[in-house]
Structures are given as structure tokens and as C-alpha cells.
Structure 1
Amino acid sequence: MLDIPSRVRVHVETLLAVQNDMGVCDAFEQYAPAGKPNTMNAPHPSKVAGIDATVPAPAHTVAPAPAATDASPASFANSPAAPHAPCAPGTLLQDRLAGWVSDLTTLHELTERLARTSGIDAALQELLRAGAALVGARRGLVVLEPDDGLGPDTTVGLGLARADLGHIETVPRSAMPHGTLLDTAAGLPDGEGEVMRPDLFSEDGLDPRHREVAARLGYAASYALPLSTETAGRIGAAVWLYDEPAEPVERRRHLAGLYVRFATEHLARLLDTERTRACMATVYEELLPSRLPRVPGVQLACRHRTGPRGGGDWYDALPLPDAALGLAVGSVTGSGPGAVAAMGRLRASLRAYAVMEGEDPVAVLSDLELLLRLTEPARSATALFAYCEPALRRITLAGAGHSPPLLVGERRTEFVETSVSAPLGMLACWEAPSVEFQVAAGETVLLYTDGLLHRTGDPVDRAFARLQAAAASVPRARRHDPEAVADHVLHTVLPDDQDVTGGREDVALVAARFE
């Protein structure tokens, strides 16, 4: 980061001459502090984006010297006309420094706001708003189209309705600025490739359809930049639209270019996160049941939330011989691809054991524990398996370090009393007694993983109380539908804005209503 001392020895004309050939930061680095000048004694500007200073930017009342007429303006506002009178070099330099600090302040604030976005859509909207402010436009659109072909591909507009974007899409791609940027075969160098069209209707050879759409939407000029850097590659293009013929000055283009390069890197990171999340979701869809079985006497519903890294929470429901039903939930320690793979192996094994000896849940979990110790010695897991007989409304279950089921009915909302047991893989030999209980007609049994409790951030006893209260508050008119019960419990226990883990914990929930 940079530190501008209160006194700087700079040759004014030399500094202004090199201003066009280097960025603000480069100029500050080249002209390091030295000595004590006689002509400049103003206090230094306030600290912004790593610059140590104490004074806000003064009003620009001094016209630039003739030798620096092509230099970038010092602030977004145009300097008012001033009489051609000589000005002190120190005053001119102070004016320039104040303008640079103002620009850095703007960039710092805009990049900070962008960095706080955590989703692609929010980041694209912020990019459009900030870019419009920098280039002096009112509307725009950004086309996200990564050149690796992995997606996601989307178009987002600022001040443009969905129908407006549809009209723009009818224009031949090669006639639009973003098409020019995105279809460049060799890509675009970092910081290059801007497309500026200051007066569309006076252009020779303007595509007729583009002319028609521009007239319909009421824009007469455009300025486009590629979302492209050396590290991120080319991931899209942004276009800002002007209501009247116009073009941004060089300083505005320079600031917009700096901001867009930062935005490109940020969007590339969000793309990686989004792709990882989508990949994990696809893996989960393949490993978990694609659909729930239909067993007479029972209605089923399930809910599953996956963390960004992917965890080991799972659920299962499978028909068994003699019109029985097997229900299971569990969780494998760890996160990421390894935990997901272990979860898949464990679930597949439990299904096999359940078919062979499902009427004895203890035997099912004992076999699973032995398999886990032999194949996954570094992991442990919690699991709960319930053998259900819908015709008798009778359930026999065994749990290994897992939370007890919750019964939800007209006359009771209570947890099933289960024996205390260790998770699988924690002891040399797992063993715990099974529990048998009766379910009344119309009651719903909720099986869930610990992630539902952990996401609340409450102590264990308060988390259980919160879950019980949520189940008890299900409206009576909706208790006949397990889908409604599952949704109500999940949304009551975990409102969208009260997940203290930030979605890192997986959640699995199964609701089984007995008729």
C-alpha cells in the first residue's frame, strides 16, 4: 500500500507529463518524498485505500497548464473555467494529488462493495451499477459467458426489463459490442479491447436491426469492456448504454478498466464456487434416492440441504419384504469429496444389510459398523435405522450416536426415548439395544441429522426444544401432508437469515406419516 507524506519534492511539469503514461500508483511510487519544499506546505489528504493523508480533496478551481491539457482530469466533476492566470506549482500539484486521492477513494469504496457480494447475480448487478457510475451511463447489461464452455451463461441488465434484453438478443451478435468482445478468437489482452461507439445513429454501416432496437429502447451510444484478465481468462463482457450521443473521457475509462479487472477476478472466484456447489449437488442427487418408494399405509417426504463443500449427511427409504419399510438417516465425519464418497458407500451397504436382516435393526447397524472399521478406519459415523410395519403402525429402531426421532400428532409432539449409544467406528465393538414403539393413526415420524440442530447455533438442549416447538406449531390443517410438515419444521427451525454456520452443515430430514 502507498503512503504519501506531507511534503513531496516534485517537478510539476514533469509529473504532469508522465501522468498519461502511468497509473496513479506508479506515479506516486516514482516520485518518492525527498527534502522540504518551499512552495508546498498543505497538509496531506486523508487515508484511503492504503494512502495516508488527512485532508479531503479541495474544489478544483485551477485550470490545468497548457502543457498538460491531455492529462486526465482530477475528479469526476469537470473543472470550472478559470481565467488564464499563472498559478503556483505547489497549488497545481496539490490539486492533482487531491484528484487522484478522490479517484482512489471511489475505487476503494466500489471494490469493497463488490467484494462483499457472495453470489454471481448480486456481483453482476453491483458491477453494472458501479460501472455506470464510473462511465457516466444510466443503463447497461453484462453477458457472462466463460470461454472454457463450462458455464453458467447468463445475461443481466441494469435499467433494462427482461423484454428489453429480449429485444437486444434479436440483434445479430456480431453487431453488438459484447459480441465483438466475446467472439474474438484469440481472446483479449488484459486491460485492452474496449469498444466505444459514441454515436450509433451517425455510424456508417450500422446494422438495421441494431438501429431499430436502439431507437425502440432509447439509447444512442454505448461503451463496452471485456471481463478478461490473464489469470481468470475471458468470462464475459459488460456494456453501458447512453441515452444521447456521448463517450467517457480518458480518466473515466481508466478508472472503469481498473474496476472491471478487479470485478473479473472476483467473478472468477464466484464461478469456481458455484461450479463446485453444482458439482456436489449433482453427486448428491446420484447418491441419494432419486424418488421415494410408495408403500401402502405410509406417506413420505424428504428434504436435504447440502453445504458448499459437501458433507456426509444422508437419508434413505426402501421397501422391504412383507410390506415393510426401512427408513434411515446418518452422517459421516468430514466434508468434501472424500466424505461424500464414504457416505455413498455406507448408504449402499446399509441397503444391502436392511434387505437381508432389516427386521433386526441392531444387526443391520452392527454389520455396518464392522464394514466401517474395515474399510474406513479413519472415519466415524452416526446412523439410525427404523424397521416400519405400516399395517400394524409399529416401528423398531436402533441408533448409533444419532438424535432420537420426533413424533408429531394431534395429541402429542415428543421425542422417542432411545438408548444412549456411541457412533459407529468409535468403539472396538458397537452394541446397543433396539427400541419398539407404536404410532397412532395420522401421526408423523420425523428423522433428521444433527446438521439441523447445529445450524441453529443453540446449545443442544435449546436446539432440541426449538425443533420440538417448530413441530408442535404445524397448523392442524396441514398435518395430514408430510411435505407441508417437513417444510414448516425446516423453515421454522432454520429461517433463511438465521443460519449461523453459513450453510456449511448438511441437513437431511425425513417425514413419514402413518395412516
Structure 2
Amino acid sequence: MLDIPSRVRVHVETLPAAQIDMGVCDAFEQYAPVGKPYTMNAPHPPKVAGIDSTVPAPAHTVAPAPAAPDAPAVLTDPGALLQDRLAGWVSDLTTLHELTERLVLTTTLPDALTELLRAGAALVGARRGLVVLEPGDGLGPATTVGLGLTRSDLGHLETVPRAALPHGTLLDTRAGLPGGVAEVVRADLFAEQGLHPRHRDVAARLGFAASYTRPLSTETAGRLGAVVWLYDEPAEPVERQRHLVGLYTRYATEHLARLLEVERTRACMATMAEELLPSRLPRVSGVELAVRHRTSPRGGGDWYDALPLPDAALGLTVGSVTGTGPSAVAAAGRLRASLRAYAVMEGEDPVAVLSDLELLLRLTEPARPATALFAYCEPALQRITLAGAGHSPPLLIGERRTAYVETSVSAPLGMLACWEAPSVEVQAAPGETVLLYTDGLLQRTGEPVDRAFARLHAAAAALPRATRRDPEAVADHVLRTVLPDGLDTADSAEDVVLLAVRFE
């Protein structure tokens, strides 16, 4: 009797001999007890730590050395063979567990595709490869990511007719669909009959002589694309490697499908938010405008607008509604559209504009407060009259001063039974810039409000003199200084709007 713990021994002893050759994960799913596998006496093959090295072949996959003709027959212990096979299954299962753990840590499509290429290359013993993402539903996104291949190399591969490439065969026919062809093996490209001449030329130029291709498709995810690994010399993966990489790619396809859905949702939210904002800023004599807008992945409710008004005036507004997601984006679009109408009718009185907006918000969306700032700008007089509802004060930036505009404290729209606050008049000098912004600029810093205000003031005060003449450069400098190290583009629940108005 083998020295195997009793919980494992019960299952091993009931293994039919015909099932000893079944796959690693299939066998353990049926016969291994739930929980962590017990340690066995037989020496295990070394585990694979990561994906930087190829998966070692366990002893049970190594062909026995041929015996000499006159050598006496040696009886092999069946128990030792079974224990060796079980040890190999444990090694394979450990390898898959480590690789899938690394894959599940990826949160973006590019990272997941790169990890898929690296792990698959380790499993099949290749050095380079590429993955072509082309969802079968045609909704995109479509992209190609290479491992050990530059953009120029990928460009050379694109010159080969698609039908001549193995992944083209899978993607353009039903072969790559769930239940279709599971793999395409080209063990020696230069010895292959009927290989397209351009394919032969590109293979020689890039230095690969064989390829192994698998579709990225499952019954639940559908067809997402195909992955190709390239060998420098004529070669092909053995049966065990194909089995392992097949299990891995099926799991990777499901993970990619989840990330693909997230990516599509983000793109849809960003598109919807941008479409509800001005497509371009107006050109008005006497002022220059620049804007920066960063949308959160979940979709936030920040908005801005610049609207030409009668008498060569300009209406400027920034604001934010509470919440995230499609409902917040839609609410911001409705408020912006309403504010434009009120600005045309009574824009010279910012208090009246915000009062009308507050009444509309209270009647139509009583459970969604909003902050807003509206400014009536007269470029010829270099004057701005503004009113704010729970909004951060504008920042005035000039050659000789950098200061926040003193506004009265007021509640956000929709918080009180009747909103009212006095307006403030700002007299700017030629060359000065008024900076309007939403609270997301301060909140993304992760600092207390007073320190965030101080950071914004310091960033504006440190503007180089030449930069002050260009509102685009002013907006970029402030955004980059207040939100360093990629905080302006990182995933965040807060939208950011920065509107710079420079008087000529």
C-alpha cells in the first residue's frame, strides 16, 4: 500500500485504470478532495514561479529510456507510477493556479493581453507572440498586442494577406468560433507546402520559423480574437503543453470578456459625457478660452459651458451634480441645457439665472442637489459679474496678483426651500486670467480642503511669465501641478473641469 493520506487514498484506489490518462484539471475536479491537496511522499517536480521560465516537464511525461536488448526485464511498481502521475498533476495544477492568479490581477485590457502572451509563451516554450483582439459581435475595440515584437514588426505582419495567417483563418471563418478548430500548428513554416510567399518573406525577416495559434473563444464569451506564439526554430508544443495552454486560454478568454465589458462601458460613459458638453469653445473678441475636462470611469456629473450672449457678452458656467453614472451625466446635461436658456433671457443677472435653475431642479429632481457658478462676462470692459451656489470661488491670475475672488457663502442648489445669494463683480486687468473649476480638482488631490486650495494657489502663483499669456498653457500647468504623477488621468470617482478665461 502506498504511503498516501487516507483522504486521498480512498479516491486513488477507486480510480479505474482506464482513467489514469485523463487531463490534469479534469482528474482533480472529479477525484481530488475539496480543499488544499495533501503532501505526498514522492518527490514533486519543481513548481513554476511566475511565467518567466518554461514549465518544467514532470517525470510522468518523460518517455522511458529504451532498454538494452539483453537487459533483464525490470518490473515497475504500479503504485510508484500512479504516485508519480499524481505528483505531475499537482505540479500542473499549481502552475495553472499561479498563472491565473497573475492574470486576474490585471484590471485593463492591455495589461491582460500582455499577461496572456507572457504566460502562454512560458507554457508552450515560445519567446514571442501576438494577440489579435477582434470581438465577434463587431462592437470593438479591435487591437493587436505583441510580445517581443515592435510596432514595426507588427506592421510587417500586417502586410501578409490575412487569409494566409493562422489567426486570420480562425477569425474570418467559423473555425475560431466556440466548438470550432481548437488550434493551428505550423511546426516548420519554411518546409510547409503552399505557404504564401509574403508570409515566408516576413517570417525570414522577423526570424521565426514556426507558430502555434489558438482562438480566444468560449461558449459564454463568444469569439474575442486569437493568440499566436512564434518559435525561432522549427518546433511545436507537446500534448501536455497544448492541454495546459488550452485550459489557460479558456480562463483568460472569460477574464478578457469581463474587462471588455468594462472598457465598453467606460468608453460609452465618456462619449455620452462629452456629447453633452460643448463640442468647441466660442471665439469672442477680447477674451481667449481654454478648457480641460477629465471624466471619471463611472461617469460624473460635472459640466461647463461658454455661450455668446447679446451685446458682445459671454456667459460662462461650471457646475456639478451629485452622484455618478449615467443618471448623473444625464442630469448634468439637462441642467446645462436649461441654464443656457436662462442665460439667453436674463444672463446679465447671474443671481436670476441660478434662481431659475434652482427652481427647475427642485421641481424636476428634488433628490439631486447641485453646485453651480454662472458668470456674465463683458470682454470690452474686462469685467465679470458672477454668482455661485455652493461652488468654489474662481482664481484670478495676473502678473502682479494671484488671488481667489471673494464670493459670499451660499448653499448648493436644491438644498434650501429658496436659494438666494448676492452677485460679485470682478474687474480684471489686460493679460489676467480668471480660472473657473469644479470641486473635483481639489478632491482628486486627496488632501484636506484648505490644503488643496493652498496647492491650487501655489500652482497658479508659480506660473512662468511666458506661460501666463496662453490660457492653454495656464490650464495645462495648473492641472499638471495640482494633480502630479498622473492623478489627472488616473481612475477616480471625481470629474475635473478647468475653464481658463484670459482677457486680452
Fold in common (TM above 0.5): yes
Shift of 1:105: 2.4
Report 1:108-147 matches (<5 A): 108-147=97-136
How far 1:12 sits from its partner (Å)? 7.5
Does the C-alpha gap of structure 1 residues 372 and 31 become closer, same or farther in structure 2, counting only changes over 3 Å? closer
Report the CA distance between 1:74 and its aligned residue: 2.8
CA distance in 2, matches of 1:263, 1:98: 25
Distance 2:431 2:41 in 1: 70
TM-aligned CA deviation for residue 510 of structure 1: 0.3
Cα distance between partner residues in 2 of 1:57 and 1:272:
45
On the 8 A contact 2:24/2:92 being kept in 1, the answer is: no
- Name which of structure 1's ranges 89-98 and 340-349 shifts more when overlaid on structure 2: 89-98
Q: Which moved more, 1:463-472 or 1:365-374?
A: 463-472
Change (3 A) 1:189 1:489: same
Question: Which amino acid letter does the alignment assign opposite residue 24 of structure 2?
Answer: V
Q: Does 1:206 align with 2:195?
A: yes
Aligned to 2:333: 344
Q: What is the one-letter code of the residue matched to 2:9?
A: V
Aligned to 2:88: 99
How many angstroms does 1:305 deviate by? 0.7
Q: Check whether the contact 1:455–1:501 (CA below 8 A) recurs between aligned residues.
A: no
Once the two structures are superposed, residues 31-51 of structure 1 have per-residue CA deviations (whole angstroms, 9 ceiling, x without a partner) of: 356xxxxxxxxxxxxxxx963
TM (norm. structure 2) is 0.89
Match of 2:383 in 1: 394
Within 5 Å, give how 1:22-61 maps onto structure 2. Answer: 23-31=23-31, 51-53=36-38, 58=43
The superposition leaves residues 146-182 of structure 1 with CA deviations (integer Å, 9 ceiling, x where unpaired) of 1111111111221222222222222222221101111
Distance 1:434 1:197, change over 3 A: same
Instruction: Report how far residue 343 of structure 1 moved.
Output: 1.0
Match of 1:425 in 2: 414
Question: Pairwise mapping of residues 445-464 of structure 1 onto structure 2 (< 5 A)?
Answer: 445-464=434-453
* Equivalent residue, structure 1, for 2:268: 279
**Contact 1:157 / 1:165 at 8 angstroms: preserved in 2?**
yes
Cα distance in 2 for partners of 1:440, 1:75 equals: 82
SS in 2 for 1:241: strand
* Aligned residue number for residue 324 of structure 1: 313
In 2 relative to 1, CA 204–57 (structure 1 residues): closer, same or farther, beyond 3 Å? farther
Query: Measured at CA, do residues 12 and 170 of structure 1 come closer, stay the same or move farther in structure 2, by a change above 3 Å?
Result: farther
In structure 2, the partner of 1:74 is 58
- What's the counterpart of residue 20 of structure 1? 21
Q: Does 1:381 align with 2:366?
A: no
Say whether the 8 Å CA contact 1:329–1:448 is kept in structure 2: yes
Within 1, Cα distance between the matches of 2:386 and 2:320?
Answer: 17
| CA displacement, residues 358-410 of structure 1 (integer Å, 9 cap, x when unaligned) | 11100000011111112222211110001112222221110011111111222
CA contact (8 A) 1:471 1:489 kept: yes
**Which residue pairs with 1:150 in the alignment?**
139
Deviates more, 1:416-425 or 1:85-94: 85-94
* Secondary structure of the structure 2 residue equivalent to 1:274: helix
Of 496, 499, 503, which residue of structure 2 is paired with 1:510?
Answer: 499
Correspondence 1:159 to 2:160: no
CA–CA distance in 2 between the matches of 1:366 and 1:399?
11
Aligned partner (choices 246, 249, 253) of residue 257 of structure 1 = 246
Task: Output the CA distance in 1 between the equivalents of 2:477 and 2:231.
Answer: 48
Structure-2 separation of matches of 1:460 and 1:101: 54
> Is 1:244 paired with 2:233?
yes
Distance in 1 separating the partners of 2:420 and 2:503:
29
> What percent of counterpart residues are identical?
77
Query: Which region of structure 1 is more displaced relative to structure 2, 402-411 or 75-84?
Result: 75-84
- Contact persistence 1:289–1:316 (CA under 8 A): yes
Please name the residue that 1:196 is paired with.
Answer: 185
Name structure 2 gaps, 5 residues minimum.
47-55, 68-72
Note if contact 1:384-1:400 (Cα within 8 Å) is conserved in structure 2: yes
Structure 1: which 4+ aligned runs deviate by more than 6 Å? none
Of 501-510 and 484-493, more deviation after overlay is shown by: 501-510
SS in 2 for 1:309: coil
Identify the residue that residue 38 of structure 1 maps to in structure 2: none
Q: How many residues align?
A: 486
CA contact (8 A) 2:322 2:370 kept: yes
| 16 and 139 in structure 1: CA distance in 2 versus 1, 3 angstrom threshold | farther
Match of 1:295 in 2: 284
Distance 1:138 1:509 in 2: 46
Letter in 2 for 1:504: A
Q: Which amino acid aligns with 1:390?
A: P
Q: Give 1:297's aligned amino acid.
A: G
The residue aligned with 1:42 is none
The alignment status of 1:479 with 2:468, answered yes or no, reads: yes
SS of equivalent to 1:132? helix
TM norm structure 1:
0.87
CA contact (8 A) 1:381 1:425 kept: yes
Q: 1:466 to 1:340 in 2, by over 3 A?
A: same
> Structure 1 residues 359, 74: CA separation in 2 closer, same or farther (over 3 Å shift)?
same
Q: Secondary structure at the match of 1:436?
A: strand
Change (3 A) 1:13 1:149: same
Deviations 1:221-262 (A, max 9, x none): 111000101111101000111111111011111111111112
Aligned residue for 2:381, secondary structure, equals coil
Distance 1:77 1:165, change over 3 A: farther
> Is the 8 Å Cα contact of residues 12 and 93 (structure 1) preserved in structure 2?
no
Alignment of 1:162-241 (within 5 A): 162-185=151-174, 187-189=176-178, 193-241=182-230
Q: Is the 8 A contact 2:208 2:232 kept in 1?
A: yes
Secondary structure of the 1:8 match is helix
**Separation of aligned partners in 2, 1:377 and 1:267:** 40
For 1:513 and 1:496, the matched residues in 2 are separated by: 27
The structure-2 alpha-carbon separation of the partners of 1:469 and 1:101, relative to structure 1 and needing over 3 Å to count, comes to farther
* 2:21 maps to amino acid: N
1:438 deviates by 1.6
The answer as to whether partners of 1:191 and 1:257 remain within 8 angstroms in 2 is no
| Offset, 1:275 | 1.6
Contact 1:168 1:213 in 2 (8 A): yes
Give the Cα–Cα distance (whole angstroms) in 1 for the partners of residues 60 and 129 of structure 2: 20
CA distance, structure 2, for counterparts of residue 190 and residue 334 of structure 1: 44
Of stretches 411-420 and 398-407 in structure 1, the one that deviates more from structure 2 is 411-420
User: Does the 8 Å CA contact 2:298/2:324 hold for their aligned counterparts?
Assistant: yes
CA-to-partner distance for each residue in 1:166-206, whole Å, 9 max, x for gaps?
Answer: 22222222221101111223752259521111122222222
CA distance in 1, matches of 2:38, 2:496: 50
